[in-house]
Structure formats: C-alpha cells, structure tokens
Amino acid sequence: MSFVALRILVIDEDPRRGATLAEVLRVTGYEAIEWSDPKNDLAKVVTDAKPDVVLINLTSPDRDTLEQLALMNEKSPRPVVMFAQDDDEQTIASAVRAGVSAYLVDGLSGNRVKPVIDVAIAHFRQHQAIREELEKTRTSLDERKHVDLAKSLLMRQRGIGEPEAYALLRKLAMDRKQRIGQVAQQLAAAAEILEGVKP
Amino acid sequence: MNHVVEPIHPSTPAPGPPLAGNPEKRNVTLGLVPLNDCAPIAVALEKGLFAEVGVDVTTTREQSWAGIRDKVAFGLLDGAQMLATMPICATLGVGGFQCDMTAAMSLGLNGNAITLAEWLCEEIEEAHGPLRLDASNPADGLAEVIRGRARAGKPRLRLGSVFPVSTHELELRYWLAAAGIDPDADVELVVVPPPRMVEALRAGELSGYCVGEPWNSLAIAEGLGRIVVSKHAIWNHSPEKVLGFSTTWAQRHPDTVTALITAVIQAGQWLDEPANRLEAAEILSLPQYVGVSAEHITPALTGQLVTRRGAAPQPCPAFHVFHRGLANFPWVSHGLWFVEQMHRWGWLDTPYEAQLAVSRVFRDDLYRQAAERLGLGLPDTAEKSEGTHAAPWTLAAATGDLTMGADRFLDGAAFEPAALDLRHVSGRHTTKELTG
C-alpha cells in the first residue's frame, strides 16, 4: 500500500519529553511537529500545520482548545491521541475502547508508539473514508448540474432535442476518455467565457 | 500562608444514626478546576465534613475540563466538579466520546461573568454611552461596535470561553444573540483554559471572554478590561457546576454518593453564611484549590464586585449562591434548558434523544436521599419554569413552602420545560435561530 507519511503534532508542556516523542515518531517514519510553547496560539498552529493526528497529554491544559478545534472543523479530521504517565493497563484499555483516544504510557520506544499510532491511523482512515464518501456524493450532484446545463446549451445552440444532446455529450466523453460530467463541465465553462452564461 | 482551618463541628458528635449509611468506598478522589465555585468541595474537605460522613476525600486540581471528563470516565477520578452541561454531553457523546454520566447534585448557581478588553469598552462607550454592570443589555453597544468594524473591513472580534459545550459558551452566546449578534458569524469564539484567559487578554489574542471567578477579577486588577455582565444578570440563579460521576461508579457506590452529597450540601450551607465568605476566600487561595491571592477571590465571593480597576465595589449579592433557594437541587428543567440551547446552536445530532437523556443524567433522587437525612425542604417535582420570576418567590411543596430566587433571563424570555418537544426536529446545524 502506498503510504504518505502522516503529519503528527506533538503537544507537550515538557519540551524535552515532546522532543523525545517527536524523534521516536520520525524514526518510525512519521512527520512530527512539536509544540510546547503555551504563549503561541495553538489554534493557529493547528490551522497552519494541518496535522493528521495530534498527540497530547491527558492532563494538558490545551485539551479544551483542541476539543473545540475538532468540534468546529469536522472536515479536517485530526484524531487526538493522548498519553499519560501513571495510568494502569485497564485505564488504557478502556480509553482505547472508548474510540476517540488512544493512550500511550511514558517511557517511549518505537514498539510502544507503534500500536498507538496504528489506532490513530485506523480512526484517521475511517474519518477519511466518510469524508471521501461525502465528497463523492457532492461531486456527483455537481456533475449532474453541469450535465443539465451542457444539455440545455447544446439544445439551444444546435436546435436539437434532449436525447440527442445527451448522446452528443456521451460521444464527446467517450472520444476524450473522460467522464460525461467532466465534459459537461468544460462545455459549461467554455460557454461561460464565450457567451457569459453563468452555470 | 498560614491559614488554619477550624472544623465546623469542633468535636465530632457521638455517632447517632449515621447520616449517610455505609459508604462502599472510603477513599475517594475528586477532581476540581481552579475556580471560586470549587468552594463546596474545598470547604467540605477542609472543614471535616467529608470525614464526618466517613469518607476520606483527596482532591486533585485539574488543568482542563476534557481532562476532568476523561479521568472520571476512565476511573482515574471517582467524581469531580463538572460543568453542568458536561454529564449530558458525555452521556450523549456530544463533542467527545460517549460515557454515561450522573449529575448527583448542583454545586451552586451563577459564578461567571463576561469581561471585555479595556479598549473595546472604550469603543462601546463612544458608540453607546457609559457601561454599567448589569445594565439591561451592554451587548447592544457591543453590537454597534461589531457592525462598525464589519463596515470598516476590520477582522472579527475574538472572544473566549472555557470549553466547547459549556455553561460559559451557552451564556456568552445567549448574551450576544439577545443583542442580535450572531455568535457563529459576527464574532470568532475560541476556547482558552481559565488560568490562561488573563494572559490571552493581555497579549491581545482575545478581546473578551466569559469565565468563572477569579479569572475576571484578575484581569480587572491589572486594568486589562472591565466586567460588563454577570452570569446572574444573563439568567438569574442559573445552574453552573455539578458533582458528577460516571454512572457505573455511582451505581456501584450508592452510599458513598449519598455521603458525599450530604457533606457538600453542608459545605454549601456554611458558604451561604455571609460571615464565612472571607474565610472561604482564604481556603480557596490555597495552591491545591484556586491558588491565587485571596484579595482576587474575595470580591466575587463576598458579592462586592469590582468591575473596573479602581472603581468602587458594586453589590452583587447573588454572584455566588451555594445553597439557598434550592441551589443544590439538580433540576431536570435546568438540564432541559441546556439541551434546548445546544439544539438552538445546532450541536445535537439527535435532539429528542438528548431531551430524553436529561432525566437519566440529572438524578434528583440521589439528592433527595441526602436532603431528607438532613431534614431539608424538597420540591415536589424536578421541573420548574424559568424566566417567570423577576424577584424572590415561593414554591409550594409537600415539605413546606420553599423560598426561591429570581429566575429572569436578560431578554425577558420564558422557558417552560413541559412544553419542550424535540421529537420531530432535525439535528445539527439545521435549526439555528437567533431569536428564541
């Protein structure tokens, strides 16, 4: 499977610990960004860095800010993964079962980070799939709109009926090895330039 | 600081019938957030009230509300001071994962305020005349400034609250919307943890915020801004914090829950004696609670609010209410109002489920058990209408008449819980109405 390195934002008040974690992540093959400065605007950091996953302490004061960003920005999924020091196995297990958060115990090594990131990635992919599904629905709606417009353009310009206009579009698409929606969009765009017809 | 806390009942009375049964768990850890209204928990501990009901309580000072919620959900904390909206949201999985939670009692009413940056207050005064605390609606002036900024192409004002679905966020939105300001479009609302609010105002990252005390008074002391409205003025005697548990924990430890409620009610009674508020400020100033100097905690706690640096204190006796007027009763109707507002802002996927969940979350039956043992008056039902009393009023009840505080909303609206019907409405971002 081709794999684009996930961008992971590490938030830790303790810069040394944050740097260690980021280093482990980089060695494991992720792109890691560290953030430990409470004077900087976290919202801006997240907006600019566009991380796929955010790693943050269970106890960090920045948790609430991050929750709001997640609530407000449904279209850019950034599952939150948290790690805590003194939690027992049961706590970690119940945290992972809860689904939103995976927990990572301190004392970071590659093989401990891996399963946590795996959980995060699974969540990320799930969100991504839902998002793509939405995107597909939206695209097909847009394409239908373009096809309707292109059909009416052709009918007007060539004085033909709807079935003929559609057949013409379909032939054009087949000739160009494109989807009918794409051809229709190009036609509509050309008409907009040439005649000032708004799609 | 060498404040010595004297127990309320100096020599523990000979145990008669135990006040709170037989707690299943005698070592309990409760989470709290550095705010004046963690006082009932702090006082119950410092004054030996938890010990009196046979529970050894440890408190931990938490840095974030999300941390409180998660630690309770995962059993790292047995219970906690929670935003009154939080057990509902956790139970529904709004803004986080799902975990059934229980609000066993209310920790008090009111306690928040909205502070605006000094420069913004000056602009409002230029546009709209002098600002007065609790004036009918200082947001009207803010609305004028916001419209002026939009015309001039200036960026939106950035205002802070403490948690996405919090009492603070809801009252800030209510206040803005009452003046015709769309909280989603006309301003930018961001979340900042309480202890960082003042810093954010100083740095110019925020133009104002809604937060619990002492985080308004601290900005006033520095001359960074002015308190323009109290939570009490937005909605008189409105719910704020609750004592929350995961429902699983509460079910496993029923006698412990009753014992804790009993102790915290007594702490609320002690706190509502005006003579005790100065001592309470000393307790809260301890590092394990609010951890700031008592001089900043005192103004709100004693109801003598300083709204602007150097100004004379303004009487605000209801700024913090910890017991009187059934302040500890977990009203289901309060929870229903939260749900109505969450729906108003389009945060609920399943509004009707939310409506149904409230009576599972706000457990007045748990409160009643403890209150009965203490011989306190109780209302007949867990619902009351809101917004219909501009002055103290009498609630007739089987246990005898109860004196209740005013419950007016700043825009004069009324909320009738029995009329709330979210059965056939659709959820999430489809129903936002500015008026209502």
Taking CB atoms and an 8 Å cutoff, what residues of chain A touch B70?
A: 58, 82, 95, 101
Please indicate if any CB of chain B lies within 8 Å of the CB of A98: yes
Query: What number of residues does chain B have?
Result: 436
Please indicate if any CB of chain A lies within 8 Å of the CB of B190: yes
pLDDT at B8 over 80: no
Query: What number of residues does chain A have?
Result: 199
Residues B390, B277, single domain; the answer is yes
Residues B45, B176, single domain; the answer is no
Residues B129, B152, single domain; the answer is yes
| pLDDT for residue B14 | 44
Please indicate if any CB of chain A lies within 8 Å of the CB of B312: no
| pLDDT for residue B174 | 97
| pLDDT for residue A199 | 47
CB of B196 closer than 8 Å to CB of A61: yes
CB of A52 closer than 8 Å to CB of A10: no
Between residues B398 and B95, the one the model is more confident about:
B398
Which pLDDT tens digit goes with each residue over A54-74? 877 777 778 788 777 766 665
Taking CB atoms and an 8 Å cutoff, what residues of chain A touch B205?
A: 41
Between residues A92 and B272, the one the model is more confident about:
B272
Average pLDDT of the residues in A174-197: 80
Q: What is the helix (H) or strand (E) element at residue B229, kind and residue range?
A: strand B225-230
Q: Could A60 and B73 be called an inter-chain contact, meaning their C-beta atoms sit closer than 8 Å?
A: no
Range of the domain at B145: 112-234
| pLDDT for residue A78 | 53
**Over pLDDT 90: what percentage of chain B?**
82
Average pLDDT of the residues in B217-232: 96
pLDDT band for position A130 (cuts 50, 70, 90): low
Residues B314, B245, single domain; the answer is yes
| Closest residue of chain A to B206, computed from CA coordinates | A41
pLDDT band for position A123 (cuts 50, 70, 90): low
| 3-state class (DSSP) for residue A128 | helix
| pLDDT for residue A92 | 57
Q: Give the residue from A41, A45, A62, A64 with the most B CB atoms within 10 Å of its CB, the best one to mutate.
A: A64
Please indicate if any CB of chain B lies within 8 Å of the CB of A100: yes
Residues B382, B312, single domain; the answer is yes
Residues B206, B58, single domain; the answer is no
Residues B62, B141, single domain; the answer is no
Residues B82, B123, single domain; the answer is no
| pLDDT for residue B123 | 95
What's the predicted TM-score (pTM) here?
0.80
Q: Which of B74, B75, B96 sits opposite A67 (nearest CB)?
A: B96
Average pLDDT of the residues in A174-199: 78
How many CB atoms sit inside 10 A of residue A38's CB? Answer: 15
pLDDT band for position A137 (cuts 50, 70, 90): confident
With CA atoms as reference, report the closest residue to B158 among A30, A44, A8, A98. A44
| pLDDT for residue A143 | 79
- Counted domains in chain B: 2
Which pLDDT tens digit goes with each residue over B203-223? 999 999 999 999 999 999 999
Q: Give the residue from A44, A65, A88, A101 with the most B CB atoms within 10 Å of its CB, the best one to mutate.
A: A65
| pLDDT for residue B136 | 64
CB of A18 closer than 8 Å to CB of A42: no
Please give the mean pLDDT across all residues of chain B.
92
Between residues A185 and B121, the one the model is more confident about:
B121
Most confident of A22-31, A109-118, B129-138: A22-31
| Closest residue of chain A to B202, computed from CA coordinates | A39
Considering only residues 371 to 430 of chain B, which have any Cβ-Cβ distance to chain A shorter than 8 Å?
Answer: none
Q: Could B64 and A91 be called an inter-chain contact, meaning their C-beta atoms sit closer than 8 Å?
A: no
What is the maximum alpha-carbon separation in chain A? 77
Average pLDDT of the residues in A41-62: 77
| Residue B394: strand pairing partners | B403
CATH number (domain holding residue B223): 3.40.190.10
pLDDT at B435 over 50: no
Q: Which of A65, A87, A98 sits opposite B191 (nearest CB)?
A: A65
Q: Give the residue from A68, A83, A92 with the most B CB atoms within 10 Å of its CB, the best one to mutate.
A: A68
| Closest residue of chain A to B65, computed from CA coordinates | A64
pLDDT at A2 over 50: no
Q: Which of B63, B70, B98 sits opposite A61 (nearest CB)?
A: B63
Last residue of a domain, one of B195, B216, B234: B234
Between residues A119 and A191, the one the model is more confident about:
A191
| pLDDT for residue B183 | 96
Please indicate if any CB of chain B lies within 8 Å of the CB of A63: yes
| 3-state class (DSSP) for residue A73 | coil
With CA atoms as reference, report the closest residue to A69 among A59, A78, A56, A60. A78
Please indicate if any CB of chain A lies within 8 Å of the CB of B191: yes
| pLDDT for residue B11 | 53
Please indicate if any CB of chain B lies within 8 Å of the CB of A45: no
pLDDT at A93 over 60: no
Average pLDDT of the residues in B426-434: 53
| pLDDT for residue B10 | 56
Average pLDDT of the residues in B368-381: 96
| pLDDT for residue A103 | 45
pLDDT at B232 over 50: yes
How many CB atoms sit inside 10 A of residue B411's CB? Answer: 17
Please indicate if any CB of chain B lies within 8 Å of the CB of A67: yes
**Over pLDDT 70: what percentage of chain A?**
61
| pLDDT for residue B116 | 97
Distance between CA atoms of A128 and B23, rounded to whole angstroms? 48
Q: Give the residue from B63, B92, B248, B345 with the most A CB atoms within 10 Å of its CB, the best one to mutate.
A: B63
| pLDDT for residue A18 | 76
Q: Which of B66, B73, B203 sits opposite A63 (nearest CB)?
A: B66
Instruction: Output the six-digit token pair for B146.
Output: 């916001």
Provide long-range contacts, Cβ within 8 A and 24+ apart, for B294-300. B296/B214, B296/B217, B296/B218, B296/B221, B297/B36, B297/B213, B297/B214, B297/B217, B299/B217, B300/B36, B300/B111, B300/B113, B300/B213, B300/B214, B300/B216, B300/B217
Identity of the amino acid at B179: A
pLDDT band for position A129 (cuts 50, 70, 90): low
Which pLDDT tens digit goes with each residue over B285-298? 999 999 999 999 99
Last residue of a domain, one of B234, B264, B297: B234
Average pLDDT of the residues in B268-287: 97
pLDDT band for position B234 (cuts 50, 70, 90): very high
Taking CB atoms and an 8 Å cutoff, what residues of chain B touch A87?
A: 74, 76
pLDDT at B104 over 90: yes
Average pLDDT of the residues in B328-344: 97
Least confident of A175-179, B165-169, B198-202, B204-208: A175-179
CA distance A61 to chain B (A): 5
Please indicate if any CB of chain B lies within 8 Å of the CB of A39: yes
pLDDT at A98 over 80: no
Q: Could A58 and B191 be called an inter-chain contact, meaning their C-beta atoms sit closer than 8 Å?
A: no
Q: Could B63 and A99 be called an inter-chain contact, meaning their C-beta atoms sit closer than 8 Å?
A: no
Residues B369, B270, single domain; the answer is yes
Taking CB atoms and an 8 Å cutoff, what residues of chain B touch A100?
A: 96-97
Average pLDDT of the residues in B334-345: 96
Instruction: Kindly provide the ipTM of the predicted complex, given to two decimals.
Output: 0.75
Residues B314, B391, single domain; the answer is yes
pLDDT at A52 over 90: no
pLDDT at B431 over 90: no
Residues B105, B116, single domain; the answer is no
Distance between CA atoms of B298 and B281, rounded to whole angstroms? 6
Domains by residue range for chain A, with CATH: 7-108 (3.40.50.2300), 136-195 (1.10.10.10)
Between residues A100 and A196, the one the model is more confident about:
A196
Residues B214, B349, single domain; the answer is no
CA distance A50 to chain B (A): 18
Considering only residues 72 to 111 of chain B, which have any Cβ-Cβ distance to chain A shorter than 8 Å?
Answer: 73-76, 95-99
CA distance B391 to chain A (A): 36
Q: Could B64 and A95 be called an inter-chain contact, meaning their C-beta atoms sit closer than 8 Å?
A: no
Last residue of a domain, one of B234, B259, B293: B234
Q: Could B66 and A68 be called an inter-chain contact, meaning their C-beta atoms sit closer than 8 Å?
A: no
- Burial string for B37-52 (b: 16+ CB within 10 Å, else e) reads bbbbbbbbbbbbbbeb
CA distance B32 to chain A (A): 13
